[in-house]
Amino acid sequence: MSSILRAVAVYTVLLVIFRVAGKRTLHDMTTFDLVLVLIISEAVQAALVDTDNSMANAFLLVVTLVGIDILLSVLKYRFPSFGQVLDGRPVVLVRDGRMVEHVASKERVNQEDILSAARCLHGIEHLEEIKHAVLEAGGKISIIPRESAR
C-alpha cells in the first residue's frame, strides 16, 4: 500500500510544481533542461522506491503512475474545465502582427521566442507577417501566418 501512496504523492507534488513553473518551463528542452529532468528523476527515485528494490514494487509503481495518468486523461476528457485547470489554457501572444505584451510578459515569452517558432514552422522573417501566435496549453507556440505571408 505504501508504494501506491508514495507514487500518488510524488505524482501530485510534481504535477503541482510543474503547473506552478508555467507552460514554458520544460517545453523546447535545452541541454540543461534535459539534465534537470534527469536530476529530478534521480531525486524522486529514492522517495518512490524507498528500500524495496523488488520487481514487484517497480511494477506496482509503474502501474500506479500510468494509472493516475489514464485517470487524469479520462477526467480531462469528461470535464474540459478540469483539463484547463490542470494543463492551463492557450493564450494569444500575437494578434494581427502585434505582440500582446502583457500576456507575453506574464508567460515569459519574448519576441525572439515567437519569431523563432515562426521561422521554424513557416519560414516567417517578420512579426508583421504573423496573424496569430498562440501559446498552447502544452507550452508550444503555434503560428498562423497572414494570408500575404503564406
Partner 1 sequence: MARARPVTALDLEQDAGAVRRTWRFERIGWGVIAVAIIGGLAGAFGDGPLSSASVVSADRRVGVQFERVVRYNAPSTLEVRLAPDRVGDTIVTVSLDTAYVRAVEVVRVAPEPVRVRASPDRVEYHLLRPDPARPMTITFAIQAGTPGRHRVRLGTTSGTVEFDQLVLP
Task: Show the cell assigned to 132.
Answer: 496569430
Comparison of 65 and 95: residue with beta carbon closer to partner 1: 95
Comparison of 95 and 122: residue with beta carbon closer to partner 1: 95
Comparison of 31 and 147: residue with beta carbon closer to partner 1: 147
**Shortest Å, Cβ 96 to partner 1:** 9
Residues found near partner 1 in the complex (CB under 8 A):
16-17, 19-22, 50-51, 84, 88-92, 95, 103, 106, 131-132, 134, 144
**Shortest Å, Cβ 22 to partner 1:** 6
Distance between CA atoms of 16 and 25, rounded to whole angstroms?
13
- DSSP states of 25-50: SSSS--HHHHHHHHHHHHHHHHHHHT
SS3 of the chain: helix, strand, coil, percent, to 5: 65, 10, 25
Comparison of 94 and 115: residue with beta carbon closer to partner 1: 94
